[in-house]
Structure 1
Amino acid sequence: MRPGAVTLAYEGAIALVTLAYPGRLNAMSRAMWRELRTVFDTQIASDPALRCVLVRGEGGQFCAGGDISEYPGFRFDEASLREFHENEVWAALAAMRACELPLVAQIEGACMGAGLEIASCCDIRLAGEGAKFGAPIAKLGFPMAPREAALVRGAIGDVLARDMLLAAGVHGARRLYDAGFLLQVLPDADVAGQALAHSARIAALAPEAARANKRTLAAVSVESLLATAYDYADSPEHREGIAAFLAKRPPVF
């Protein structure tokens, strides 16, 4: 494995996506952005056995941002900067957002910049008490790219987004929980186990219902879904869920 990589492993029907860059708090290199896109667009999208995705960082850290050591090589040219943000970073984030499976984020330690963007693509986020969140790129002299800023603002809210981008504010997990970004704040030692348990709970539920719910939550308008909204009426999992409830037994999806 290269110094920085995005790896994919499996725990039953759960895909485990791990950001790994030892010594750099899992900062995202350009190669890692491309790998993240491939993992979601190619590997996860083509595996019908999967029911949930758990996104995590290696070694008790989520992701500390971008790999700044690479920046002098491309950021000072407008064309190459646009290529980076639109065709590498946003392409990877868009692949995550297009994933039909529920995405769970296991957030430990640093969740900064690129890490905050990746976490914002997830449906459910659990974090440790010691996790830190921010995007202090104002200290580096550049703004967040427009699509990425809109993504983060939509996930964390206007007040925190403005503080992070305009004042380089860094906030703890409790503040992000209060803002509605996090489902739970847990003792640091419990985050990995609880995130996997939550993913397993999702994976045991009706998979087609989860996909339909994600389409509904992502839709620009409810009206666009109405033509096919009730196609599931005669589906096996719909019948199984109702039958199991009436028989007072666990459903088998």
Structure 2
Amino acid sequence: MNAIKYHFADSIATLTFVREESRNAIDELLIAEMGEAIRKVCIDQARALVVTGTGSAFCAGADLKMVSRLMEEGPSAVVTRFLAPLQNVLAALRSLPLPVIAAVNGSCFAGGLELALCCDLVLASDDARFADAHSRHGLLPAIGGVQGLLRSVGAFKAREMLYTGDAYDAQQMMAAGIVSRVIPKADLAVEARKLALSLCERSPAGLARMKQMVADEETMDWGTAARYELAVTSARLSGSDPAEGVRAFRERRKPEFTDAP
């Protein structure tokens, strides 16, 4: 791989963008390698995934030099060779049945922000910056960015971020609800791994069900959600992990979970 570094150890997969010379901008190669890395996550049966970048950027968004070349061929080239493949790979990232942690080490702009919004948890270095930025180039979010912002920060803040394209620091994004924790840059990788290790101690099947429940319940009213949760929990209780979790609590030891996601 040339655009991405993939590492797997202790049940944790780490996907690192290494196009530092272009601030980890998204091009066709990065999309292809990201798809390959996600397949490796599944093959390795990882229990958590950390996505991060190198240098001053997490991901600066689309590689506009590449987009410019594709636009010379016509709008369909941009859609079929860039946007549609990127949408597919982000859908695969979202659907992974395990916790996905974005460790945002710097600039997180446009498509990079859309990518971060596809993760389950966002940790940010204290110098990280976030912006939608599409409006600055006459472009539009095309891979779920509008919905991601609406669900994360609400309509008014989403409009502000979309219309202005302004950049916000990590503390502002934590206040808005996108960032979970702000961490000194030197400690970001260690803290992301520490969080991933703690999640590896949870039931993989339980976390997979929780992740699906969050996705399913976003548009449900309370009554529908309550009935749905009862049905999912009832089915879940037939697995081994719930009994093991309760038994381990009673015996004052760490649980050993075995149910597959």
**TM-based fold match above 0.5:** yes
Letter of the structure 2 residue corresponding to residue 98 of structure 1: S
| Aligned counterparts of 1:201 and 1:139: Cα–Cα separation in 2 | 40
Aligned counterpart, 2:206: 209
Aligned counterpart, 1:15: 13
Q: Structure 1 residues 162 and 115 mapped into 2: Cα distance closer, same or farther (>3 Å)?
A: same
Aligned counterpart, 1:33: 31
Pairs within 5 Å for 1:39-54: 39-40=37-38, 42-48=39-45, 50-54=46-50
Q: Give how far 1:92 is off.
A: 1.3
Deviates further, 82-91 or 17-26: 82-91
Per-residue deviation, residues 117-141 of structure 1 (Å, max 9, x unmatched):
1110111111111100002222222
| Aligned counterparts of 1:152 and 1:56: Cα–Cα separation in 2 | 20
Alpha-carbon contact 2:87-2:143 (below 8 Å) kept: no
Alpha-carbon contact 1:116-1:152 (below 8 Å) kept: no
Q: Give how far 1:84 is off.
A: 4.2
| Aligned counterparts of 2:22 and 2:88: Cα–Cα separation in 1 | 23
Extract unaligned runs of 5+ from structure 1.
Answer: none
Q: Give how far 1:72 is off.
A: 1.6
Q: Give how far 1:73 is off.
A: 1.7
Per-residue deviation, residues 27-83 of structure 1 (Å, max 9, x unmatched):
11122122223322x2223333x1111111123531111111111221352222222
Number of matched pairs:
249
Alpha-carbon contact 2:6-2:16 (below 8 Å) kept: yes
Letter of the structure 2 residue corresponding to residue 232 of structure 1: R
Alpha-carbon contact 2:117-2:145 (below 8 Å) kept: no
Q: Structure 1 residues 14 and 232 mapped into 2: Cα distance closer, same or farther (>3 Å)?
A: same
Extract unaligned runs of 5+ from structure 2.
Answer: none
Aligned counterpart, 2:215: 218
Aligned counterpart, 2:247: 243
Q: Give how far 1:97 is off.
A: 1.0
Aligned counterpart, 1:79: 76
Q: Structure 1 residues 27 and 86 mapped into 2: Cα distance closer, same or farther (>3 Å)?
A: closer
Q: Structure 1 residues 145 and 198 mapped into 2: Cα distance closer, same or farther (>3 Å)?
A: same
TM superposition score normalised by structure 2? 0.87
Aligned structure 1 segments of 4 or more residues deviating by more than 6 angstroms: none
Alpha-carbon contact 2:114-2:143 (below 8 Å) kept: no
Per-residue deviation, residues 139-166 of structure 1 (Å, max 9, x unmatched):
2222222633223332343333322221
